[in-house]
Every structure is written in structure tokens, then in C-alpha cells.
Amino acid sequence: MNQTAIPVSYAAMAATTPGTAPGDDRLRRFAAIWSRAVHPAMPATTMTRAEFERYLIPLARTLRDALRARPFDPKPGARVGEALVRAQCTDPEALAQTLGVIESYLVLYCPPEPALPAEESRARCARLQHAVASGFARALRAYTLAEQEAVAGAALAAHAECEEALHHSEQRFRAVFGSTSVGVGIADVEGRILRVNDALKRMFGDPGSMLAGRNVGELVHPDDSADFWVLYRELVRGERDRYRVEKPYYRSDGSVLWTDMSVSLLRDASGEPRYQLAMMEDITERRRLHERLRYEATHDALTGLPNRALFFERLDRALAPDGGEEGGPEESAGGRFGLVYLDLDGFKSVNDSLGHTVGDQLLVAVADRLRGCATAPGELVARLGGDEFVALVTGITGPSAQAHVTALARRMLAALAEPVRLDGRDLSVRASIGVVEGARGELGAAEVLRSADITMYRAKAAGGNRYELADADTDARVIARHSLTNCLPTALDNGEFFIEYQPLVRLSDGTVRGAEALVRWLHPAHGVLGPDQFIPLAESTGLIVPLGRWVLEEAARQARSWRCEGAAAHDGPMRVNVNLSPSQLRHPSLVADIVAVLDNAGLDPSALCLEVTENALIGADEAELRPLRQLADLGVDIALDDFGTGYSNLSYLRRMPVSTLKLDRSFTRGMQCAPADPVDVKIVEGIVSLAHTLDLSVTVEGVETGAQADHLRLLGCDTAQGWYYARPGPPERLHALSLADAASPAP
């Protein structure tokens, strides 16, 4: 071994290595454990164990600082691996011991500060192990190459020397050949192995001379690269001078030896190929470590299933037009794919009620059952995270492709049908599934997963414990809905909302008594949108509260304007009706906001009527009704909107602070033509009679014909609104009543 290749003076290093900071005993103990584990595997080092321990202290500090760094960066671990090689710590066993110490003791003795979740600490530690191994491998490879170059140089020099210096060169070659830790073998161009050194014998577990005399062509392995034998034939024909590959061999005991092998061609004086010189480094442990780290990086730590990273890797290959460059037979055998996206129903309640430990146990049981559902070639089950699982099916063709995927979805539901037994209790498991099936090359991974997610939530909305098939039209509607949701916050800031007013007409004399404020959205791309298209979105995002306040402010200013313009000319004061959503009703500052709006507009409370849907008040307790009572006490009218769609029972109205019923249009549709539906007439007559008994006025919405208006007037209804009188419009057209049947052209 070329000792001068290691640029370090151990005595100087031991004398100058900085010590630990005062009180940093944990770091020193970690270095001591590391030294005891690794030093026996360093036969070539000249350092004592105490010197080596001091050498390790700054390396331990580097690992500790990297573990604690925010943001986390594993790169310093590579420098630690390189530093070990510089200290002549080159044996593969030394690397294995180092990684074992890091895995077992780094987090214990050098925990992250502030503390991280255990899973995050383990993940950081694993990535540091990988970085240390990578740095060690790079440095060891450079170190080995230096040795290999020395061997190759000695071999070439020995064969190139003139005849009179041959004996001296042969001796020098034998010295390097026998003493190097790199496995060396010499064969002729026919492949007969002529000579191997002791290091190569030890690699193959062959202390005798079993390798010598065999042919290189016999040393095949099923995992040989397809290019390897091409390179070999080119070299022995003299078409190339060297190549380098990673190649597996079988040892004498049947185990597998992985080597990093460099092969050079030796020519005679005339330039003809004579020998091939192979130099091999044992990388078996490094290969196993790589495979283990690869497995940990691509599999879920809790369930052992493939994780999100591996799933998307396989999905990208399955969706590629050619099945992916690295696609196996299952990706390239068929032109279609299937994806089954599964989400457990009510899993959050398990975590909340029984704890996350039980929740994790349930996820492991679910994963085991789902794993057993996808055993055919081209089927993969993965865990995306939380309680979300996905199955990918590739290599399917023809019209039966969809049936293949839906059959897998049914198997997964059937596998979860039986309760899971945990800690003496049976836990029922239900799941909602979205199924996407299609031709590869048409969609990207993000689009496919989005469609599956949308479809899964459609199954959940339908009651759960079922699967639904993806539908392009439904996906488009959901995506459009999401787009509108994203635009809502800026729309309010940009002034894209406006209000139209629909008149409320007194049936007894046909005069306008007020108007309902109806908000509209002038969308830059979609044009004017009605409230049914965006109010539910605002409700779900919480934007309904600022939007509702804006509507109140605008409507109050308009009502004040009407009064200032001379409402007496229109026979009495005008009132404006504004809708309140359930979220606004529950908002703690509702009363204060409305009082502030009225004060700012200079509007009397009696000029405002708040419309609340019947369904919003069903089952409301006294605390929930208190804001409405306070507003009613101030003089604000409260109207019960869409009456009849809830309990349709007037008895509960006696405890509510309402002054007006807005009868749902479904009760009066049968009166649009003559003769009127007698059942509808009796129902409306009874509601009006009982409402008046409770001192409530009755407003009817959705009046579309003159016949309907006449019937309602005769039945005693107080006010009405609808297209017969006027469609919603700007405030200046409030008194321009059309009095035309809805079937007639709009004025």
C-alpha cells in the first residue's frame, strides 16, 4: 500500500484536534463509542485508539450540527465519509460499523435542538448515513484508483522494460501484485485466467487456486449488465484498451460478490493484444447499503408499502407514451393504465377517540389487507400518506381494462369489510374509492391523481364505502369550482361584485314596498355569475363574512339613497332585504357589524330586513337565536326565507324572532295557470291564516304569471316578488314593473 498517498500526520493531528466545548460530554462519549467500534477494523492505520478518538471528535461535531441544521442539509455527512478514508479507515467493515454507530447513537447523544418528531429525527439520521456512505465511497474509489494506477503502472512498466531490466521489473510487479488490497487477475485474450493475487482469492472465498485455470466466460451472473459482455469482446479483439463496470460474481459458498472492476488490455511490443488485467474492489457492503437506503427512501416506514416517491416514479413510467425508458414488462405490455385512489372514511375519529397509536395499528392492518388485493403482475399498492392509499395497474389492454380496474376496487372494499380486531375491540373500516382508467400518453401524473382525488370525494359525498368512476365533465366542473374559489379573495378587493335589486310588491295595491338585494359577480373570464355559483364557495372558505358585510353596506347606502330621493313619491318608506348565510349568523360580531353599517349609512333599523333560510334555523338553540333577537329588538325585521323546505311546521315559529315568512316557490307553482291546483291553494291558505294569527306577514317568491299573482292576493298574501313584476336589475329601475307573464319576452 502506498502510505504516502494519505496526506495526514496522525501525531500532529492528535495534538491539534480541538477538544470539545466545556460540558460537551455527550459529543465526547459519542466519539468514544465510534472509535471503539471502528478502530479494530483499521489494520493499516498508525494511530492509537486514543488518537483516533480525538480525530473523530470534530467529525462527530459535524454530524451533530448537520442533524440540527435548519434547513436540514445532509451534505456535511459526505465530508465525514471522506475524512474516514483519509485516516486509512478503508475497510468495508469500518464503514458498516460507522453507519451502525450513527444509526444507534447519534440521535441519542446529539439530539436535535429544538426537538423534532422521532420520525423526522430518524429520517435525518438515515439521510446523513447515506451521505457518509456516499462520501466514503467517493474517497475510497479515488484511493483505490490510485492503487490501481500504481498496479497498472507497475504491470505495464514490467512488460515494457527492455530485456536486460526484466528481472528487476518482474520483482517490482510481484511486490505490488502481492501486497495490494485490490483484487488483481491476469488472463489471456482467450479468457483463460493465468494468475490471481491473494486479495482476489479472499474476495471469492477461494484460499486455493480454484480461479486460476478457469475461463472468464464461465464467471457469469444473472444480474450481469447487457453491455458487459459487449465491452469484454471489444477489449479482447483489441477494439478498446479498457473498460470499467460494476459486476456481480458468485463466491465459492454461493453468496454474491459485487465488484467495481477495471479491465485493461496489455499489448506486446508489436501492439498485438496479449493479456487482460482486471482489478476489482469489493463493493458488496456498499451495494447492500445502497439497496437498504433505496428501500427506506421508497417505502413507507409504518406499513412497509411503497411510498409516494416510488408510486409517482412508477406512475410516470406507466403514463409515458412508450411505457417509460426503464419500464419493465408490466409497463410495456399494454397501452392502458388504471388507478384506484382509496381514502378511509372517518379515520380522524379513530385518532381523536382512541389515540394515534391505535390509528397507526389500524393503518398497518389496512395496508396488509390491501397488499393482498394486488398480487398480479403490473399491480402496485402504495401509501400516499395519512389514511390515503393508491393502487396502480399497468399492462392492461382492450375493452376489459376498465373491468380489470373496477374488479380491483371491489376486492379492496371486500378486503376491508371485515372489522379489524385491535386491543380487544373490533373496528369497522369503510373506504371511499375513486377509479381512473385510461390510455397512457394522454394525461400527466398530476392530472390523473387530481381526477382520482375528485372522484374519491364524489364517492365520499355519496355516502362512502363505495367506488366511483372518473368522469371528465365532473372533473371539469370541480376544477372550475376550484378556480372560482381561488379568485374569490381578489375579486372582492378588485371591486368585481355588484348588486341588483328585485322589487317586493304589495299585493293589495301593486305598489313597491321594498327590494331584495341580490349580489352578482362580474368575473373577468366568465362574465356575470349568479349567487348560486359562488355563495356556497364563499361560505366554505369563510369569505362570506367580509362579502356579506360589503353587501350590507352597499344595500344600506342604497336604501338611504332611495329615502333621500323622496320615497314619499312612491307611497311610503322603502325597505331593503339582505340575505344572511349560516356563517354570518354564527359570526360573533354580527350584531355589532350591522349596527355599525346602519349608523354609517344613517339608516333607520326598520328599513332593513334580514333574510335567514329556514334550514339555517332548524334546531337552533337559544344562544344561536340571541343575535337575531337583539337585532329584532333594535327594529330590524327578520324574514324566514324558503319557508316550507324544512319542518314546514309553524309551531316552532313562536319562539323565533321573525316578522315575515317568505313562502318557497314550490308551494305556489300550481297556481301559475287557471284553474289553480286545489291542493296548493289549500296549503297556502292554511299557512297564510296561521301566519297572520302569529302576527307574521307573508311574502311569496317566484311569482311568474298574472294568474298566480291574483290567486295569492285573494288568499291574503302580503307581498310578492318574481319575474312577473320585474327581474333583478339596477336600483334606478326598481319601480319599472313589467307585469308580464314569465313566458313573455322581457321588456
Q: Is the pLDDT of residue 154 over 70?
A: no
Work out the average pLDDT over 312-336: 67
- Entry field: residues in the chain: 747
* Segment of 112-116, 298-302, 654-658 carrying the highest mean pLDDT: 298-302
Per-residue cell: 355: 389515540
Q: What dihedral do alpha carbons 719, 720, 725, 730 form, nearest 10°?
A: 90
What is 203-221 written as a DSSP string?
Answer: HTT-SSSSSTT-BGGG---
Per-residue cell: 53: 478518538
Task: Find the range with the poorest average confidence among 172-176, 300-304, 480-484, 599-603.
Answer: 172-176
Q: Is the pLDDT of residue 649 over 80?
A: no
- One-letter amino acid at 506 equals R
DSSP letter at 569 equals: G
Contacts of 467 (CB under 8 A, 6+ apart): 340, 406, 409, 410, 413, 432, 433, 434, 435, 459
Beta strands at 697-700 and 660-663: parallel, antiparallel or unpaired: parallel
pLDDT given at position 650: 58
Could you tell me if 727 and 746 are in contact, meaning their C-beta atoms sit under 8 angstroms apart? yes
Cα separation values, 125 from 72, 76, 93, 285, 735, Å: 11, 12, 20, 19, 75
CA distance 194 to 171: 18
- The model's pLDDT over 166-201, given as tens digits with 9 standing for 90+, comes to 455 555 555 556 556 688 888 998 989 888 888 888
Work out the average pLDDT over 425-437: 92
**% of the chain exceeding 90 in pLDDT:** 39
Q: Is the pLDDT of residue 54 over 60?
A: yes
Task: Find the range with the poorest average confidence among 1-5, 315-319, 332-336, 709-713.
Answer: 1-5
pLDDT given at position 165: 46
Q: Is the pLDDT of residue 276 over 50?
A: yes
Q: Is the pLDDT of residue 469 over 80?
A: yes
- The model's pLDDT over 617-626, given as tens digits with 9 standing for 90+, comes to 776 778 888 9
CA distance 268 to 238: 12
Q: Long-range contacts: 471-479, Cβ < 8 Å, 24+?
A: 475/450, 475/451, 478/454, 479/450, 479/454
Contacts of 321 (CB under 8 A, 6+ apart): 440, 441
The phi, psi pair for 89, rounded to 5°, reads -90, 75
SS3 501: strand
CA distance 57 to 18: 8
Provide the pLDDT confidence category of residue 431 given band limits of 50, 70 and 90.
very high
Task: Find the range with the poorest average confidence among 437-446, 597-606, 707-716.
Answer: 437-446
Taking alpha carbons only, the member of 163, 89, 175 closest to residue 133 is: 89
pLDDT given at position 365: 94
Residue of 90 and 344 predicted with greater confidence: 344
Q: Is the pLDDT of residue 15 over 50?
A: no
* Cell 390510455, located at residue: 439
What is the Cα gyration radius of the chain?
41
Work out the average pLDDT over 664-690: 88
Cα separation values, 129 from 388, 497, 619, Å: 29, 57, 59
CA distance 479 to 451: 9
pLDDT given at position 179: 57
pLDDT given at position 328: 44
- Average pLDDT, whole number, for the chain? 84
Provide the pLDDT confidence category of residue 647 given band limits of 50, 70 and 90.
low
The phi, psi pair for 225, rounded to 5°, reads -65, 145
Q: Which helix (H) or strand (E) holds 296?
A: helix 284-298
* Segment of 118-127, 221-230, 405-414 carrying the highest mean pLDDT: 405-414
Residue of 279 and 208 predicted with greater confidence: 279
Per-residue cell: 201: 482469492
Provide the pLDDT confidence category of residue 5 given band limits of 50, 70 and 90.
very low
pLDDT given at position 323: 55
Q: Is the pLDDT of residue 570 over 60?
A: no
Per-residue cell: 375: 398480487
pLDDT given at position 47: 87
pTM tops 0.75: no
For the chain, give the longest Cα–Cα distance. 133
CA distance 176 to 1: 8
pLDDT given at position 329: 43
Taking alpha carbons only, the member of 343, 393, 380 closest to residue 363 is: 343
Per-residue cell: 331: 409497463
Provide the pLDDT confidence category of residue 155 given band limits of 50, 70 and 90.
low
CA distance 376 to 379: 6
pLDDT given at position 180: 67
Q: Is the pLDDT of residue 564 over 60?
A: yes
pLDDT given at position 170: 55
Distance of alpha carbon 438 from the chain centroid: 22
What is 350-374 written as a DSSP string?
Answer: HHHHH-HHHHHHHHHHHHHHHHTT-
Per-residue cell: 744: 313573455
- The partner residues of 662 in beta bridges, in order of sequence, read 699
The phi, psi pair for 259, rounded to 5°, reads -125, 150
CA distance 334 to 392: 13
Cα separation values, 309 from 290, 296, 383, 444, 617, Å: 17, 11, 10, 16, 48
Distance of alpha carbon 272 from the chain centroid: 61
Taking alpha carbons only, the member of 295, 224, 209 closest to residue 258 is: 224
* Segment of 174-188, 427-441, 613-627, 648-662 carrying the highest mean pLDDT: 427-441
Provide the pLDDT confidence category of residue 723 given band limits of 50, 70 and 90.
very high
Contacts of 363 (CB under 8 A, 6+ apart): 302, 303, 383, 387
- The model's pLDDT over 380-393, given as tens digits with 9 standing for 90+, comes to 999 999 999 999 99
Q: Is the pLDDT of residue 2 over 50?
A: no
- One-letter amino acid at 654 equals R
